[in-house]
Structures are given as structure tokens and as C-alpha cells.
Amino acid sequence: MLLNHRQVLLSGGCEVVLLMPAEPCPEIAVIEGKGEYYLFANATGFGVLAELFSLAVAQGPNEVIYCPSAFAHTAALEREMPMLNQLKGLVIRNFGAMQMDNKDIMRAIKTKGGCVEQVDRRAEPLGERPRDWDTWRRLTVKCLHEVLMFSGEREVLTLLARSCRSFVMIGDDARANGDHVHHDRDDNTTKSLGITLEYWHFDPVQNPASVF
């Protein structure tokens, strides 16, 4: 995947390396609704998310993935599900490689300038599905300044990547809208609300109610 690589030096000498898709995907919606968090996407969007979570498995020190929202079907989704609120993007970090506070990550995102270059990163094969006890209650998802912040170790990120890839097999087909999978939803705490990955594809022929 082609990424924009931006180094940001914060006050106090702390360095953050932001990795951002060079071409943000218009098929990914980052959503908050009734106190829960969702990623809505079709097969194209989940393909991008699968690669981002896979890249996070092998993140280097001080690296964090930031994916600004570029969702192209906001009006259609709002007509279908008016109770949902669209957020501004998502952050993915491998807690084993990057343990910086979320507030410092947001400071880096909002900081102007910094050295920017494009890099081509390839995700390594994910291997076998992690054991349940290696991922149980290990995912943290928080919202800060309308950005969804994901934090977990490599096993959790691997499981998220595998879940995203399972949606890719559907193809872009609105008949599959509503298919979903939960991660840590049943273990919600005051610190993390988990995430629901939900399939949603906009097609003016297959779901005409969203057009008008």
C-alpha cells in the first residue's frame, strides 16, 4: 500500500511517525451510534481496512496509522440510518510498539508541517487465527476529537484484519448489507466500547431508497 509517511516532533522531543493512505478510501465510514462504535464498509473498503490492520501488526517504534475519513455516501447512509453520527477518521496503533498517550497522537495529527514522503509498505501474511485467550479483552477503542482510536497487540490486530478480509469475499453487493461481526462488544467497560464491523455497500439500483 502506498502511504504518506510524516514525521512530527512534539514539544519535549517526542517523535511520532504518522502513516496515512496516499489515497483515502471513499468506501469506509467511521461511525458512532447510541454509545457504540462501528466501521461500515463494502468489500473494497474492508480490503483497505484489512491491509491497514495487517500493516499495524508489524508497526515500527513511534509509528501510528491514521486514516482520515473520505466516505463518499454520507447522505445515503444518513437517510438509511439517521441515528448514526459519522466521525472524522481512525487511528490504529500496535500497543506493543507504540505506547504513547492518545492525546499526544492527536497533537501530532493536528500539527502542521513535518517531513512528508511516500513509502510503499507491504503487509506480511497473517498466519493462523489467534487463540481466543490471546485476544480476550485486549482491544481498546476510544473516541477522541471525533477520531476513533484503536489500540491492541499483534494478536488483536491480526484478528481484526482477518475479520475484514472475510467481508472482502462477499464482493460489492448491497444484498449483504447488515452482515456484521463484533469485537469485544460484550466486554464493554468504561475504558473501551469495542467495535462492530458492518458490511454496507451503496448501489442506487439495489438500495434505491437511499438515493432520494
Please report, in angstroms and rounded to a whole number, the separation of the first and last CA atoms in the chain: 35
Segments making up each domain of the chain, as ranges: 23-102+120-210
Query: Strands of 140-144's sheet, edge to edge?
Result: 115-120, 2-9, 15-21, 63-68, 89-94, 147-152, 140-144
Full pLDDT tens readout for the chain, 212 residues: 999 999 998 887 788 999 999 998 999 999 998 888 999 999 999 999 999 999 999 888 889 999 999 999 999 999 889 999 999 999 999 987 777 888 999 999 999 877 789 999 988 777 777 666 566 667 889 999 999 999 988 888 998 999 999 999 999 999 999 999 998 755 544 556 689 999 999 987 755 555 43
- Architecture of the domain whose range is 23-102+120-210: 2-Layer Sandwich (3.30)
Tell me the whole-structure pTM to 2 decimals.
Answer: 0.90
